[in-house]
Amino acid sequence: MSVATRTKSFSRSRRRGRILNEIFLWFVLFIFFIPVLWIILTSVRIRSEINAFPPVWIPSGFSFDSYKILFGMPTPEGAFGLGGSIPVGDYARNSIVISLVSTLFALVLGTAAGFVFARFKFRYKNGTFLAMMLFRAIPGIALSLPLFILYARLGLSDTVPGMILIYVALNIPFTAWLMDGFFRAIPEELEDAARIDGCSHWGAFVRVDLPLALPGAAAAGIFAFLTSWNEFALASIITRTPASRTFPPALFEFTGQFVSDWRGMTAMSVLMLIPAVIFVAIVQRQLMEGLTSGATKG
Amino acid sequence: MTTRPLAQEAVASRRRWRISLSERHLPFILLLPSVIIMLLVIGFPMLYSLYLSLTSYTLTTAQNYDFIGLKNYATLLFDDPLFWASFGRTVLFITLAVNIEFLLGLGIAHLIARAIRGQSVARTLIMMPMMFAPILVGFQFKWFFNAQVGLVNNILYAITGEPHFIPWLIDKPLGFISILIAEIWMSTPFMVVILEAGILSLPQEPFEAAEVDGASGWQKFRHLTLPMLLPFIYTAMAIRSLDIARAYDVVQIMTGGGPANRTELIWTYVNRLAFTGQQFAVGAAMSYITVIFSWIFTWWFFYNVIKSRWAGGQS
C-alpha cells in the first residue's frame, strides 16, 4: 500500500520533472538561437528599420533587396552603402571548390593515416601521431606570416590550389585521429576472417574496414568541411582578389572604418550558412552515430 | 627431382619476401603523402618563422637585417609589460571559457538526452553556432554589443523602459566579459554534441541497478554518469585544445585587442606586432610563444589519449 502511494507520487514528481526539463531545454535553446534569428531577420528587413532608434521589434514588412543586390539584380535602392558591387559568385565558387576539394583530399589521406595508426605497429608510431597533432595545434595567426612570405615566393599566393593545399594540411591530423578511433572500434576478428578467406591487407581494408568506418568518415568530413569553409586567419592573408578569395575574408568588404552595412553583411552571412546547414543536416545522423560508436573513447 | 622443390622454394620465398616488403612498407606509403603535405605547408614555414624570429627583420628592412639570436624573445619576456598582461589575460580567458562551456555543455546535453520528443530538432538548433564562421561570430557580437544600436542594449531598453547606452566593448571589465560571451556562444554547442554522444552511448544496466537501490539523481550523476563520460570529456577537451586559437578571429573583429589593450590576447598581440606594426621578426617570436602555448595544452591532452589508447587501453 505504502509502496503503491510511493510509486504514484514518485511518477508524478517525475512527470513534473520531465515537463520542467522540456521547458528549460527550449528556453535555453531559444537564448542560443537569438543571434541566428537576428541575422536572418536583419537580412530581410526594410533598410530604415535596421539600427533604428528606438528599436523596431516587429518588422512592418519584409524586403529581399539585400539578396537582389548581392546577385546583381536591379533594386529601387541600388547598391549597398559599402562594398558596392561584390563578386559574390566568385566568392561562392572559390569557397565551394576550396572546401569540397580540400575536405575530399583530407578525408582520403587522413583515413589512410588513421588506418595505419589503428592497425600497424612500427617504431615512432606514437611520436608520429603526437607530431601530427602538434602540427595541427599551430594557430593560423602564427602560420600566416611565414606562409604569406613562402607562398609569395612559390607563386601560390592568391590561388585556389594554394588554399586547398593549406586546408588539406590543416585537416589531415584531426581526420586521422577520428578515423583511428573508428577503425579501432571495428573488431579485428572481422579483418582476420577476411584475411583467412584470402584477402590481402589492402583487400581487407577495402572490403571490411572501410564500409564499417563510413559513418565515422561522415563525422570527420563535417569537421574538415566546416574548418575550411569558415577559416579566416590564413584566408585573409593569402587570398587577395576574387581569383581565390573566400567568404570569410569577403565579409570585411561590408565594413568601413566607423560603419558597417549590416543589411549586406547579414545577407551574405545567410548565404554562407546555407551550404553549411545543408551539409550538416545531411550527415548529422552519421555524426551522432559515428561519435557514439566508440571512436571518441580515449 | 631436386630442381622442382628448389624452384618452388624460390617462388615461395620471393612471394614471402614481397608480401613482407609490402606489409612492412605499407604504413609508410600510406603516411607519406600526408607527411609531405604537412611538412611543406606547416613544417617548412614554421622553420622559416623560427629563423625570422631570431633576426631583426621588419617590413622596411627586408633586404638588410641581422641575426640577433634570442633578443626578440628576451624583449617580449622581460621588457614588455603588454606581453605578460596579454598572456595572463589569455590564460584567464581560456580557463573561464573552457570550464563554462563544459558545464553549460553538460547541462544542455542532459536536457536534450532527457527530452521526450524533438531531440533531433533540438540537436540541429544547438548545432547552428558550430556552422558560424568565427569571424562572423565576431562581427555579429560586435554589433549586438554596440553601445548605440546594439541588440543587448535594445533588449535592456525594452525590459526596463529606459534607454541604455552601456559601452560593452569599451568598458574595462565589460569588454572582457563580452568577448567571453561570444566565445562561449560559439564553442558550447561543440561540447554539447560530444557530451550528448557520450550520454547516448552509456549502458542502461548500471542506472537501473542504481534506481532499484534508491540512488538519488545527483548520486547517479556523480558516481555513474560522470566517470563513464570521462573519455568523452577528454575528447572534447582535446579537440578544443587543438582549436584554442579560434578565439582569435572573434576577438580580432570585436575589439582588435583594444581599446588600450584591455582585451588583448596573445593572438591579437601577434597581429598587432606583425601586421599592424610590421615588426615581422618580433611578430614571429610572438607567434612562437603562441604556438608553445597551444602545444602545452595539446601535448597534455593527447598524451592522455595515447596513454589510454595504446598502453593496452580498451578499444
Q: Domain extents for chain A?
A: 2-70, 88-295
pLDDT digits (tens, 9 = 90+) for B279-289: 889 999 999 99
**Is residue A159 exposed (0-12), middle (13-18) or buried (19+ Cβ within 10 Å)?**
middle
- Cell for A181? 578511433
Rounded alpha-carbon distances, angstroms, from residue A95 to A148, A161, B249: 19, 12, 18
The pLDDT, as a whole number, for residue B132 is 92
| pTM for the predicted model, two decimal places | 0.86
Three-state SS sequence of B156-209 = HHHHHCCCCCCCCCCCHHHHHHHHHHHHHHHHHHHHHHHHHHHHHCCCCHHHHH
- Which residues on chain A are in Cβ contact (under 8 Å) with B295? 134, 137
Q: A-contacting residues of B 36-95, CB under 8 Å?
A: 37-38, 40-46, 48-49, 52
Domain B75-309: give its CATH superfamily: MetI-like (1.10.3720.10)
C-alpha span between B104 and B114 (Å, rounded)? 15
- Smallest CA–CA distance, residue A289 to chain B, in Å, is 8
Of the CA atoms within 13 Å of residue A257, those in its CB half-sphere come to 0
- Domain ranges (residues) in chain B: 75-309
pLDDT confidence bin for A297, thresholds 50/70/90: very low
The pLDDT, as a whole number, for residue B309 is 59
Q: Are A108 and B26 in contact (CB under 8 A)?
A: no
C-alpha span between A247 and A229 (Å, rounded)? 8
What letter does residue B115 receive in the DSSP assignment?
A: -
Cα dihedral B15, B21, B27, B31 in deg (nearest 10): -120
ipTM comes to 0.86
pLDDT confidence bin for B56, thresholds 50/70/90: confident
What letter does residue A198 receive in the DSSP assignment?
A: T
Name the residue with cell 575574408.
Answer: A249
**Mean pLDDT within A207-222:** 84
The neighbour count for residue A256, using CB atoms within 10 Å, is 11
The pLDDT, as a whole number, for residue B10 is 54
Instruction: Please indicate whether, in this complex, the C-beta atoms of B198 and A296 are within 8 angstroms of each other.
Output: yes
Select the residue from A6, A11, A14, A25 to test the B interface by mutation, using most B Cβ atoms within 10 A: A25
Rounded alpha-carbon distances, angstroms, from residue B34 to A235, B3, B41, B147, B305: 21, 47, 11, 48, 21
- Which residues on chain B are in Cβ contact (under 8 Å) with A35? 129, 140-141, 144, 185
Instruction: Please indicate whether, in this complex, the C-beta atoms of B125 and A29 are within 8 angstroms of each other.
Output: yes
Q: Does domain A88-295 have CATH number 2.30.42.10?
A: no
Q: Which residue has the higher pLDDT, A30 or B201?
A: A30
Q: Which residue has the higher pLDDT, A6 or B183?
A: B183
Judged by a CB distance cut-off of 8 A, whether residue B304 touches chain A is yes
Q: Give the nearest partner residue to A201 out of B23, B188, B280, using CB atoms.
A: B23
Q: Give the nearest partner residue to A109 out of B34, B130, B136, using CB atoms.
A: B34
The neighbour count for residue A192, using CB atoms within 10 Å, is 12
